[in-house]
């Protein structure tokens, strides 16, 4: 009996180890890495602290630190009037107060961003590292992070947590609210940076092409935060992640059996890549964007079989068929 228990324990340990190999391969000791410091500033906090009776003077004091927001003539009464209307808006004041409560101690968040940036610089040393600016957006949930070469602006009010009642009052779908938490913020930031400066271009538009394209992005995000749980990287619930893991072989059988991989059919793309609460064509328990998840597993397999390929080289690959063949991806129950 004891022998059986020990054997089961060994099997579990081996399975767990194999399942986490891709995570272990991406681990880096970021201490002492460049950049040593990252510019991270909170425009929302500085703006709402300005005295509205002396708004022009207050804005001029903070202007040098917040040029992405205040690159305007602060002696122009029309500009001041617009900003005054913003900082005296009752709902925006409440949103700012909520941001101060949820992010009362931003040290942990700032550290996570700094560590992700260090990994980014390690893998892509030639890329620019944009300064990060937090702000209050009025819940612009469809674009909570916007990146340029010099600045990444992050709407803190889009990450106040699933229990923030105002999100429901705005009519935001529940599956989107589930991703509006502090745990998703850094992932969204790095996703925006990926779209700006890393994503490769390709004219190929088959299901397989899209799977590899989106799978590479998810693998990039995993490399930026290898300690982050998979559900936060792809934006699933723990239950949804369990479903795709349990049904991986069946999903692949569908794609191969239906000749879906080489299809360019619009409806099939919609079924496999559109966002939503679930995939109604498969199961109420099945999450949306199943094509992305399968693509991620293919890229993981490819990376595991080609450890000599750098992350930058992997991101530049565009031959989807070659990546699939070289990955030897064949999930089994």
Least confident range from 36-45, 241-250, 275-284, 308-317: namely: 275-284
**232 with 312, same domain?**
yes
**193 with 116, same domain?**
yes
Q: Percentage of the chain with pLDDT > 70?
A: 93
Rounded CA gap, 277 and 286, in Å? 9
Alpha-helix runs per DSSP H in 106-236? 107-123, 165-169, 174-177, 182-197, 207-224, 230-234
**48 with 189, same domain?**
yes
Last residue of a domain, one of 178, 197, 216: 197
User: Residue 228 has what pLDDT?
Assistant: 97
Domain of 294, in residue numbers: 207-327
More confident residue, 13 or 121: 121
Q: Describe the crossing of helices 290-305 and 266-273 by its angle, rounded to 10 degrees.
A: 80
Phi-psi region of 123 (alpha: psi -120 to 50; beta: other; left: phi over 0): alpha
Last residue of a domain, one of 197, 231, 252: 197
**190 with 237, same domain?**
no
More confident residue, 23 or 133: 133
Rounded CA gap, 119 and 223, in Å? 8
Q: Give the mean pLDDT of 61-73.
A: 97
**Nearest residue to 157 (alpha-carbon basis) of 142, 170, 141:** 141
User: Residue 20 has what pLDDT?
Assistant: 59
User: Looking at the 3D structure of the chain, how many domains does it have?
Assistant: 2
Q: Percentage of the chain with pLDDT > 90?
A: 83
**230 with 193, same domain?**
no
Give residue 308's Cα distance to chain centre. 26
Chain length of the chain? 333
**274 with 175, same domain?**
no
Q: Give the 3-state secondary structure of residue 230.
A: helix
Q: With 50 as the cut, is the pLDDT of residue 10 above it? A: no
Quick check: is 189 in a domain?
yes
**176 with 212, same domain?**
no
pTM over 0.85: yes
Q: Give the mean pLDDT of 33-57.
A: 96
Name residue 153's beta-bridge partners: 133, 146
Q: Give the mean pLDDT of 127-138.
A: 97
Quick check: is 14 in a domain?
no
Give residue 157's Cα distance to chain centre. 16
Q: With 50 as the cut, is the pLDDT of residue 275 above it? A: yes
**Nearest residue to 293 (alpha-carbon basis) of 224, 212, 225, 221:** 212
Quick check: is 22 in a domain?
no
Rounded CA gap, 159 and 73, in Å? 31
**243 with 286, same domain?**
yes
pLDDT per residue over 173-204, tens digit each?
999 999 999 999 999 999 999 999 999 877 77
Taking all residues of the chain, what is their mean pLDDT, rounded to a whole number? 92
User: And the tokens for 237?
Assistant: 């619930």
Q: With 90 as the cut, is the pLDDT of residue 23 above it? A: no
Quick check: is 28 in a domain?
no
Quick check: is 87 in a domain?
yes
Q: With 60 as the cut, is the pLDDT of residue 148 above it? A: yes
pLDDT per residue over 285-310, tens digit each?
999 999 999 999 999 999 999 999 99
Q: With 70 as the cut, is the pLDDT of residue 278 above it? A: yes
Q: Give the 3-state secondary structure of residue 266.
A: helix
Rounded CA gap, 190 and 144, in Å? 12
Q: In 10 A of CB 93, how many CB atoms? A: 14
**148 with 57, same domain?**
yes
Last residue of a domain, one of 197, 232, 251: 197
Q: In 10 A of CB 234, how many CB atoms? A: 21
């Amino acid at each position: 009996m004891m022998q059986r228990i020990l054997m089961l324990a060994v099997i579990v340990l081996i399975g767990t180890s194999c399942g986490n190999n891709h995570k272990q391969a991406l681990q880096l000791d970021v201490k002492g890495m460049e950049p040593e410091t990252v510019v991270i500033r909170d425009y929302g906090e500085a703006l709402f602290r300005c005295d509205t009776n002396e708004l022009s003077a207050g804005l001029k004091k903070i202007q040098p630190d917040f040029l992405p927001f205040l690159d305007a003539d602060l002696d122009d009464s029309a500009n001041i009037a617009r900003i005054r209307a913003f900082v005296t808006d009752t709902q925006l004041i409440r949103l700012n107060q909520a941001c101060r409560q949820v992010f009362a101690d931003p040290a942990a968040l700032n550290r996570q961003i700094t560590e992700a940036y260090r990994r980014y610089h390690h893998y892509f040393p030639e890329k620019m590292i944009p300064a990060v600016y937090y702000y209050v957006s009025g819940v612009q949930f469809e674009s909570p992070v916007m990146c340029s070469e010099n600045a990444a602006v992050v709407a803190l009010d889009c990450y106040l947590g699933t229990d923030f009642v105002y999100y429901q009052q705005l009519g935001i779908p529940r599956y989107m609210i589930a991703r509006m938490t502090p745990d998703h913020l850094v992932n969204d930031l790095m996703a925006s940076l990926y779209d700006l400066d890393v994503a490769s271009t390709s004219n190929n538009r088959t299901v397989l092409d899209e799977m590899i394209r989106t799978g590479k992005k998810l693998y990039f995000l995993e490399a930026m935060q290898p300690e982050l749980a998979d559900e936060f990287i792809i934006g699933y619930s723990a239950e949804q992640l369990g479903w795709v893991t349990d049904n991986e072989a069946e999903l692949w059988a569908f794609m191969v059996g239906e000749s879906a991989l080489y299809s360019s059919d619009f409806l099939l793309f919609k079924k496999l890549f559109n966002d939503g609460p679930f995939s109604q064509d498969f199961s109420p328990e099945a999450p949306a964007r199943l094509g992305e998840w399968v693509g991620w597993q293919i890229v993981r397999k490819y990376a595991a079989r080609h450890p000599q390929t750098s992350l930058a080289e992997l991101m530049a690959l565009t031959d989807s068929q070659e990546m699939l063949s070289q990955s030897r991806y064949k999930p089994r129950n």
